[in-house]
Structure formats: C-alpha cells, structure tokens
Amino acid sequence: MSTNNKAVLEGDLSFKPKKKRKKIDVSRTVFIVALMIIPIIHFLVFTIYINLNTITLSFQTRLQNGDYVLNANPFKNYMDFFHDISQPYSTFPTAIKNSLMYFLLNDIVIVPLSIVLTYFLYKKVFLHQAFRVIFYLPCIVSMVVMVMSYRFMFDSTFGVIDPLLTALGLEELIPEFGWFGTKSTANGVIVGYCIWAGLGGNFILLASAMARIPEDVIEAGKLDGVGFFRELFSITIPLIGTTLATLYMQGTTVIFTFFLQVKLLTNGGPNGSTGIIMLYIVESIKGNTFDLSDAATVGMIVAIVGTPIVLVTRFIVDKIFPAYEY
C-alpha cells in the first residue's frame, strides 16, 4: 500500500501531498517578493543612490560640457561654503535663525496648543463639530492651494485683509510695501499660516490617540474626583506620550525640511529676511548651469550637523514621553 493511501486510511488529517505543499510555498514566496520589490527599489534608488551621489557631488565641480570632475582640492566646495557664509552679504545666518524659530514655534506653541484644542474637542465642548471641520480643512486641501489662498488674503490689490482693517479704522497697520514685502511683517504672516495649518495636521494624530484611551480609565479618574484639566495633565497626556514624541520629532526635522510654505509665500524675501535652510540649499544651484555641487555640499553639512540633533532629540522625547500600552 502506498504512503498516501495508508495516511488516508489511518485518518491522518494533517497529511498534505508534497506537490500541493510545494505549490503553496512557491505562491507565498512569489507574493512576498512582489510585495517587497517596490519598497526595495525605492530604498535603493532614493536612499542609497541619492545619498551616495550627493556625497560624491560635494567633492566635484560641473564643467561647461555638463560633466562632473573631482576637484584638485577635494574639500574646495566646503572651504568655499565656509568662506561665503562668513561674508556680510551671506543670508545663511538668517536662514539658520529662521529655521530654529520655526522649530521653537512648533515645539513651544503649535504642539501644546494642538493638545489643548484637541482635548476640548475630544470632550465635545460647544460647537465642537464646527471646529473639527475648521481644523481638518488644511489637511484635506492641497498644501499649494492652501498656501496660495492664504497669500491672496494679504494681497494689497484684491486681498480681504487690507479692506477689513480699513473698515475697522486700522489702516495704519497696513504695511507700506505689503505684508510680504516688509521685513517686520513677512515672518509674522508666515508664522500665522504655520500655526493655522499645523493645528490641523496635529489634530488628526492627537484625536486618534485620545480616542484609543480606554473608557474605564477615564471613568476611574472621575470616580476619584479628577477634574477637567487634571484629567488632561494626569491621564490624557501620559497615555498619548508616543504620539507626542512623534510630533516633537517632526518638529526637530522642521529645521531641515521646512520649505514649500516659505517658497510660495515670500521666496525668502524681502532681501533674504525670511530665508530658511532648505531654501538656501535650493538657491545654491548655480544659475542656469544646474551645477548641483554647491547644493550637495550644503546638504552634506546640514546632514552632518543635523543627525546628532535628531538622535539627541529622539533620546530626550523617549525619556519624557515613555510609551504606555493600552
């Protein structure tokens, strides 16, 4: 009697023919490979290749024919960079100052304000549904559309801000050269947009985290006499610590990644007063020659300085906001 027939007669229900099992294993392998091939290609091209190419470009110069050649002095681009930023006309110090300002704005203003506002909506205060839509709006509309709509509001020819201030008798507040053309107001208008748009993005993450807090924990707090604000600081914030750590980590990366909003609103003007690090890197591309060597050099310096900052921030937020399982 064959092995297959013997297994069937003996009632061995766990027995599976070898050919069928082999076919299942092959199908599973093909599925896993097909699932992983796209992220692997993405990692190889946009992480490994791009970063290696950036490192190489920082030691090269582009010739007139478009070829890149290694500099006789490999560190020439780095020496030129430090020489340029030490000159009075350099906008790089201002770019660093502004980037740090947006980092502090996120961590000191936007994230705490997001926590308080989300908590009020989480507790279903009056008109919470209407406010929920207002905060969601920047997240469901294209960032380019939102930024340009915000910019048009402050336009001196057809914007609504100037006529509104004039109607209220506050026309002296309107800058002579426009909101984005005056140094004293350009950064302030950008900050206003960041606060409004930043609240919406944070609201989604925080609302989801608060919704996962077990009801029995909230009920136990109420039985112990925990009040509205005591619940926020003693129960809610500790239990959403992982989400808060993520938001503060994102705030750290703002130093090096914040770009599109400033590009569309002011393009770094007037006279570089609203410039940021990412905008400086983009503007490092030499004119119409598309020489990427200087931009690669600045990017490498930012990466060298920024990596320890991100790692230290990660260590600090993990200590302040330990992860709780619930």
pLDDT tens sequence across 146-181: 899 999 999 888 889 999 999 998 888 888 888 998
Q: pLDDT per residue over 176-234, tens digit each?
A: 888 998 888 999 999 999 988 888 778 888 888 898 888 888 888 888 888 888 888 88
Question: Residues 274, 181: contact at Cβ < 8 Å?
Answer: no
Quick one: pLDDT band at residue 323, thresholds 50, 70, 90? low
pLDDT for 284-314, tens place per residue?
886 656 788 888 999 999 989 988 988 888 8
**Which has the closest alpha carbon to 186: 255, 110, 103, 269?**
269
Q: What is the mean pLDDT of residues 84-99?
A: 92
- Give SS3 for 158: coil
Integer angstrom CA distances of residue 288 from 65, 91, 282: 13, 21, 13
Q: Tell me the CA distances in angstroms from 285 to 51, 60, 72, 125, one per residue in order.
A: 17, 14, 21, 51
- Do residues 114 and 196 lie in contact, with contact meaning Cβ atoms separated by under 8 Å? no
Beta bridge partners of 70: 60
**Residue at token pair 């023919």:** 17
Tally of residues, the chain = 326
CB-based contact 52:288 (threshold 8 Å): no
Over range 52-65, report the average pLDDT.
Answer: 90
Q: What is the pLDDT of residue 24?
A: 65
Phi/psi for 68 (5° steps) reads -100, 135
Domain 80-320 fold = MetI-like fold (1.10.3720)
Percent of the chain's residues with pLDDT above 70: 90
195-199: long-range contacts at Cβ-Cβ below 8 A with a sequence spacing of 24 or more?
195/105, 195/109, 195/110, 195/113, 196/138, 196/150, 197/138, 197/143, 197/146, 197/261, 198/106, 198/110, 198/114, 199/110, 199/113, 199/114, 199/117, 199/135, 199/138
**What is the pLDDT, as a whole number, of residue 287?**
60
7: pLDDT strictly greater than 60 = no
